[in-house]
Each structure stands twice: as structure tokens, then as C-alpha cells.
Amino acid sequence: MEDNIVLNYGAVDALIEKKSDEIINQYLDGERDEFNYVKYDLYETSISSAIEEALTLPFLSDKKVVHIKNAYLFTGEKVTNNINQNVDQLIGFIEQYDGETLVVFDVFNEKLDERKKLVKSVKKNARLNKIDQMTEQEIKQWIKSYLNEQYKDIKEDALVAFLELTGIQFNIIKAELDKLVLFIGDEAVINKQDVKDIVSRSLEQNVFLLTEYIQKGQKEKSINLLKDLINMKEEPIKLLALITSNYRLYYQCKILASKHYSEQQIAKTIGVHPYRVKLALRIVRKLSLERLLATIDVCAETDYDLKSSYMDKVLILELFILKI
């Protein structure tokens, strides 16, 4: 039965899990227990066990769900474990299944391997949901809905400040929201000061801010933020890689903006979230392509120094900041 085999896939694990939970809860009318819900992880279990469970009639329940997480068999991912995964058995199951049990696959990858017979089979015989990242507006709406479910609200300036700290990563957003709800206790509305007091800036947003400081020539702020990140056990090579990625983003946005591409068009062309493009365009308006290219060259030189020099790596990064 096509409707009873569902495959959810995409780049954001938390959003895939959210979609699967919605489908499962709807199917089970919200009544999930040990008799009607069985979960498997293909990193740890063979697909044969999951198939056998799906073909077994429900016990003490009218309905049953078999939830298969980390279903990497549908992708090009190479997994090194001692589990023998019978792909031919899975293909046969998908093509011939006519049971009532709902089978849900979670594929934590934004692409399926279209060359595989398994993927061709599942596309023909199952319901596929590609889970895209939320837009900035969708994230804002989800935050408000999530808070409303807990009889809370958030002021608009607090919401803007919240996203400036967390970025658009769903799992980070949810974790920080839960912290905020606990923090305000019986209060009904989250304000900007609450956000400043309790929400942690994500690594991505920290590095974006660091790059902005560097670009504006704010050396002292740059060095201080760099030291904070090092104290948080972030590796210098990783930090430079993220800084370099931001400068490449600036360069790409500058070129495409000069060709009158919209934020959405730029995001689609270079394959990043529109929110990152929005932040980048805010910075690059006053920058020349020549300066951006020169900075990218310095990033490459610093990367070589970090990987080959005997100098202290933090010192190399500090000199990099002072050099730009």
C-alpha cells in the first residue's frame, strides 16, 4: 500500500523527525505506546528485522507503526559496520507490501541516490516527502505557534534578537526556546531583555559576527570574540574555515546582487538559506570585489600557516585579524 510506506528526507534532521512525528501521531491518533510503535535504527539493526516487524500483526492494538531511522540505504552514504543489510529484501518488501502497518523511513540526507534500484522502487511505490529548510518567515511563525501552545508569546523585537543569536538552525532554535520558557516561568510574554539574558549565540552566528567585526576593522572586538570562541574549545582551523566560508558567501552575493538577483534567487543559485544571504547583503554593500578577493587570498595563506607552521595557532589567527 503506497500510503502506508512513507519516506521523509532532507538536510535538517530535526525537521525530518518533526514531520515523521506528525505523520505517526496522526495515524495513531496521538496514542503512541510500546504495543503500537516500534523504532529501528539502521546504523544498529538490520533492515530484515524491521521488515519482519512490519509484516507482523499488531498486538493489543488496532494499528501499528514501524519507524526506521537513519535509513542510509537510500543514499550514497558508506557505513562501516558488521550489519548485513539485505537491500533486495527491502526492494521486494516495498514493491509487494499491502499491509495496514505504517512504515516510516527517516533519511537524514538532502539527496537520495537516484542511480539505485531501491530509490527507483521507493519513488514508485511509496509516499516521499522532501523536507526543506524553513524560510525566515516560516521559522518566526513556528516559534510563535510553539510558544502559543505553552500559553506564551514573544515581542517582535525579542523575536528578531532571538534569530540574530540562534540563526535558522531548527534544533538550536527549539533548545533555546525551551530555555526561555523555563526562564520566564509564570510570565506570559518574552521580551528582548529575556532573550539577551538567556539565549546563547550559536557558533555559526558567532563566526558571522566575528567576520563582521573583522570586515569593519573592529580589531579589539574581533580579538576578544576570537578568544571567547577559543575558550569555548573551538579549533582555530575550524574557525578559519567558517570565516573563509563567510567571505566566499560575501563574494558570491556581491556578484549576484550586482546582476540584480533577489535574495531568494541568490540563495537558490549558491545553495544557502535566504537568511544567510540577507545577513551577507547587509555587509557587502560597501565592499569592493577586489577587497573581498584579497581577503580570501589572505584566508588561504593563513590556512596554510595553520597547517604547516610551528607557531601558536591562536597567535596565527590573531595576526590574520590584524592583517586584514
pLDDT digits (tens, 9 = 90+) for 286-308: 889 999 999 999 999 999 999 99
Confidence label for 79 from pLDDT (cuts 50, 70 and 90)? confident
Give the DSSP per-residue string, 113-126.
-TTSHHHHHHHHHS
pLDDT band at 285 (very low <50, low <70, confident <90, very high): confident
Q: pLDDT digit string (tens) for 171-221?
A: 899 999 999 999 999 999 999 999 999 999 999 999 999 999 998 899 999
C-alpha 295/C-alpha 302 separation (Å) is: 10
Give the residue extent of every domain in the chain. 2-131, 136-198, 203-323
CATH topology of domain 2-131: Rossmann fold (3.40.50)
Query: Residue 59: enclosing H or E segment and its boundaries?
Result: none
pLDDT digits (tens, 9 = 90+) for 18-42: 899 999 999 998 788 888 999 999 9
User: Which DSSP letter does residue 272 get?
Assistant: -
At the second CATH level, the architecture of 136-198 is Orthogonal Bundle (1.10)
Q: Which residues contact 245 (CB under 8 A, 6 or more apart)?
A: none
DSSP H helices, the chain, are: 13-27, 47-54, 87-96, 117-125, 136-149, 156-166, 170-184, 192-198, 203-215, 219-231, 236-258, 263-270, 274-284, 289-308, 313-323
Q: How confident is the model at residue 2 (pLDDT cuts 50, 70, 90)?
A: low
The pTM of this model reads: 0.71
- Name the grid cell of 59: 498486538
Length of the chain, in residues: 324
Pick the CATH number of 203-323 from 3.90.226.10, 3.40.50.2000, 1.20.272.10, 3.30.1360.200: 1.20.272.10
Q: How far is 221 from 209, CA to CA, in rounded Å?
A: 10
CA atoms within 13 A on the CB side of 180: 32
Please tell me the predicted confidence (pLDDT) of residue 156.
Answer: 95
Span of 126-130, 168-172, 230-234 with lowest mean pLDDT: 168-172
Using CA atoms, how far apart are residues 106 and 43, in angstroms rounded to an integer?
12
CA angle 63, 64, 69 (to 5 degrees): 155
For residue 107, give the H/E element and its range: strand 102-107
